[in-house]
Amino acid sequence: MTIRNYPIAHAAILRETRRDIIAEHDDGIDTGIPADVIAAWRSNIDHGVEYVRTPVIIPTQPPVGVKHPTLNAAERRILRGMDAPRAALTSRSALLEFLLHTDGGKVRNILGEGYKTNLPIPGLPQAKIKVAYRSPHVEAGRNNCSALTRGCKAACLVATGQMIYDQSRRSRIKKSMLRYHFPFAYLAVYAKELARFERYCQKRGLVPVVRDGGTDENGDGAGWARMFPGIQFYDYRKDRLVEVTAKAGGELPSNYHVTFSLSERSWSWREAQRYLDAGYGAAVVVAAEGSTRKADAKDAQARILAQGHLHGIPVVNGDEHDYRPGDLTGRMAVLYAKGPALKDKTGFVHRV
């Protein structure tokens, strides 16, 4: 699925109430609604008429002629393990209800935050970063990483920090299944959330930033960047740059930045240089030769940063913050290995 193939039905899904639109108008934001209409709405509100939420109709069936996907065996097994209602395995409406809502019954947010995305960014203190955490590799029953390697799967960050908890895992799985099985519902929820996030930042003088692929590589980021030119999007990818560009329609939007994540593939270092030469980013995970200790991995990173380059490529500290578009052009981000990555033997982690 690519975002640009699924148009949003109507801008109304981006706004919850008319009161929201009036508030935006008062803040000087172009809402696209004529001033006389807003004045009429304001008059009604002044007379005590409360507006209900704008209804959002989410189709449970795809357009005519488009066959909807069915649950595979792995997805069924995962859903049973999550105690999904039995009806969710046979009814699309029941499955949508289960995936679309949190365990507490609220409509699920696609975006979240993390420790690293909340770190201050040198030169851009007003940035506000949100991240979409979905299931990596086959955690949700289907491969969600377009350039999956054995090394990155084994070293995946979902086995570290708060991502190891069951609540985080359930959330990732539900969002990934929602995206695959109900793309229109996923688009409606995500677009509405992005618009709300953009308005939030505008009102507070913040720079809205979104990392669409926090834990997966589905290639949607460029599409969202086109739909929301006022938001800076960024991703990490392991695909070749020519493939990333092709999936984005032949050209990457100016508000979309992509960082190449080096892996154990033989062409990985050459591709990293191509990304850097094109003005994008590259990142490498490092650890100490012959060691599985985090402290030694940090020392290895420190040695590389002290010498200022790795294999002739200028470097920056990739652990100071997550905002890779802010790295100096032509510099590769160096991150120290964490969790399972410390035991990597595939070559995904570069040992020094």
* pLDDT of amino acid 31: 65
Which residues make Cβ contacts (< 8 Å) with residue 336, sequence separation at least 6?
285, 286, 287, 294, 297, 298, 300, 301, 319
* pLDDT of amino acid 18: 65
User: Measured between alpha carbons, how far is residue 275 from residues 13, 37, 249, 282, 312 in Å?
Assistant: 37, 48, 18, 7, 15
Is 313's pLDDT higher than 90?
Answer: yes
User: Coil, strand or helix: which one is 342?
Assistant: helix
Tell me the average pLDDT of the chain.
Answer: 84
| pLDDT classification of 19: cutoffs 50, 70, 90 | low
Could you report the per-residue pLDDT of 138-151, keeping only the tens digit for each? 999 999 888 888 88
* pLDDT of amino acid 158: 72
Which helix (H) or strand (E) is 350 found in, with range? Answer: strand 350-351
Of residues 293 and 163, more confidently modeled: 293
User: Tokens 């008319």, residue?
Assistant: 18
Is 35's pLDDT higher than 80?
Answer: no
Could you report the per-residue pLDDT of 80-114, keeping only the tens digit for each? 999 999 999 999 889 988 998 888 888 889 999 88
Which residues make Cβ contacts (< 8 Å) with residue 91, sequence separation at least 6?
none
Of residues 18 and 16, more confidently modeled: 18
Nearest one of 122, 29, 94, 45 to 324, comparing CA atoms:
122
* pLDDT of amino acid 314: 96
| pLDDT classification of 64: cutoffs 50, 70, 90 | low
* pLDDT of amino acid 296: 97
* pLDDT of amino acid 67: 67
Is 348's pLDDT higher than 80?
Answer: yes
Is 8's pLDDT higher than 80?
Answer: no
* pLDDT of amino acid 210: 96
Buried b (16+ CB within 10 A) or exposed e, 87-126: ebeeeeebbbebbbeeeeeeebbbbbebebbeeebeeeee
Of residues 191 and 74, more confidently modeled: 74
* pLDDT of amino acid 32: 63
Is 12's pLDDT higher than 60?
Answer: no
Could you report the per-residue pLDDT of 262-277, keeping only the tens digit for each? 999 999 999 999 999 9
| pLDDT classification of 46: cutoffs 50, 70, 90 | very low
* pLDDT of amino acid 53: 33
- DSSP class per residue in 158-226: GGSGGGGSHHHHHHHHHHHHHHHH-HHHHHHHHHHHHHHHHHHHHHHT-EEEEES-SS-B-S-HHHHHH
Mean pLDDT value across residues 326-347: 92
| pLDDT classification of 3: cutoffs 50, 70, 90 | very low
Stated pTM of the model: 0.81
* pLDDT of amino acid 62: 53
Contact at 8 Å (CB) between 220 and 3? yes
* pLDDT of amino acid 120: 81
Share of the chain above pLDDT 70, in %: 86
* pLDDT of amino acid 44: 62
